[in-house]
Amino acid sequence: MTKENKNITYLDRNESQYGPSPACFESLKQPDFKTLSEYSRDYTRGIKSCLSERLAHEFNINEKNIILGYGGEDILKQVVHCYIHKGDKIMIPSFSWWYYKKIADEVLGVKVEYPIVEGKDSFYYDIDGMLKIFQEHKPKLVLISSPNNPTGNRLEIEQIKMVLGKMRDTVVVLDEAYTLFYNKDNSHLKEIIEEFPNVIIIRTFSKYYGLAGLRIGFALMGKNHEQFSLFSARYLGFNRLSEIIAIAALDSKEYYDGMCKKMNDDMEMFFAEFNKLKGFKAYKSFSNFILVKIPLEIKENLNKYLTDLGMIVKFMSEDGLFSHIRITIGTQEQNSNLMKMIKAFLRDNPVK
Ligand SMILES: Cc1ncc(COP(=O)(O)O)c(C=O)c1O
């Protein structure tokens, strides 16, 4: 029995509240005998999986340049475990998904942080600062997240290319787990992996496609990753149900376009509404979550108030983000309920 309560709204985990497309559920109704009882045998066709084949087709790249994994989490772990050994340096953004530091610790890597700084209405990568630290430390691997979790900021494609140009001989992992919420143009992928042989770009079906429970992600990589390809090889194939459902998601463009439009509208609503509230500051975000600075004096009581109403958002506690909440963009109803709850709280607990 799971302890999760159905009446609670979880806007703290960056999971999709709209869920996957109806076609994903439909595809689950048709598993045949072979899908469940046999290995895929896709390797006999010289490919890893029908999914990597489909992705190669979508991005117009060679299937050999794609790897699949058990979510972006698994691919990040694999890359770090493949390339980083005790004492090797790994560059990580100052504000980032906690997991980056965890995997660096797993292999006894040396973490070198580079700056993400607060601007007028968003956080941003301090690219000069980042390149200076890169020159000074000469890390073995650099992790870049665009859009970044939890700050929500992104790098423009031209900025990414500039940075990759300066780090040409180093393994750079570009985590694009959240990218589709803002940018559906994938043309940079082929260009980047062809131009930068050491890059690895990570994507996932968990966020935009609403398939976090399926645990499937993939990466596109430049041509210098023979070692990593061998490291991540799965000779008996992949989870065949995941392959089928992920392909159904790729075929559901219309569903996801509609969902994304609603989420982007609500992102704008949150940004405008929070910035009107005394003592609040919302940061521009290009993902499915928004970071908001709140008056520290209300942090504890607001947390209790929302929790009692069954509305869970992430109250941050890390250095530099102690006065912040991160809200996953939910359905239109959930988002509007959350806004109403916060305004009602502020009416009874005005900020001084
Ligand atoms: C920045 C970032 N990258 C990757 C992931 C991995 O997601 P998954 O393992 O579900 O693909 C997450 C999950 O929260 C994330 O925040």
Which atom of ligand 1 lies nearest, measured to the CA of 14? 14
Residues 82-140: pLDDT tens digits?
Answer: 999 999 999 999 999 999 999 999 999 999 999 999 999 999 999 999 999 999 999 99
For residue 13, the ligand 1 atom closest to its alpha carbon is 14
1: pLDDT strictly greater than 50: no
Token representation of residue 208: 């935009």
**204 CB less than 6 Å from ligand 1?**
yes
Pocket test for ligand 1, best of 76, 206, 288 (most atoms within 8 A of CB): 206
**Residue 239 alpha carbon to ligand 1 centre in Å:** 19
pLDDT at 4 over 70: no
Statement: residue 292 has pLDDT above 70? yes
Average pLDDT, whole number, for the chain?
96
| CA dihedral over 53, 55, 60, 61, signed as positive or negative | negative
Per DSSP bridges, beta strands 311-315 and 199-204 are unpaired
Distance 170 CA to ligand 1 centre (A): 23
Residue pointed to by tokens 């994903």: 24
Q: Average pLDDT of 208-237?
A: 96
Q: From ligand 1's centre to the CA of 72, what distance in Å?
A: 5
Question: For residues 336 and 341, what is the distance between their CA atoms, to the nearest angstrom?
Answer: 9
Instruction: Catalogue all structural domains in the chain, each as residue range(s) with its CATH number.
Output: 9-19+253-348 (3.90.1150.10), 37-250 (3.40.640.10)
Task: Please tell me if the CB atom of residue 145 comes closer than 6 angstroms to any atom of ligand 1.
Answer: yes
Atom of ligand 1 nearest to the CA of 73: 9
Is the shortest distance between the CB of 177 and ligand 1 below 6 Å?
A: yes
Q: Tell how far the Cα of 347 is from the centroid of ligand 1, in angstroms.
A: 36
Give the mean model confidence (pLDDT) for residues 65-90. 97
What pairing do the DSSP bridges indicate for beta strands 199-204 and 171-175?
parallel
- Give the predicted TM-score (pTM) of the model: 0.96
In sequence order, which ranges of 219-298 are alpha helices (DSSP H)?
226-232, 240-250, 253-276
Q: How many residues does the chain have?
A: 352
Ligand 1, atom nearest to 96 Cα: 1
Q: Which residue has the tokens 């290319």?
A: 161
Ligand 1 pocket, mutate which of 12, 14, 146, 175 (most atoms under 8 A from CB): 175
Residue with structure tokens 């941050």?
Answer: 316
Q: How far is the CA of 144 from the centre of ligand 1 (A)?
A: 13
Per-residue model confidence (pLDDT) at position 303: 98
Q: Check whether 2 has a pLDDT greater than 60.
A: no
Cβ–Cβ under 8 Å, residues 302 and 277: no
Q: Is the CB of 175 under 6 A from ligand 1?
A: yes
Ligand 1 midpoint to CA 276 (Å): 31
Ligand 1: does its nearest atom lie under 6 Å from the Cβ of 150? no
Mean pLDDT of all residues in 30-48: 89
- 5 pLDDT more than 90: no
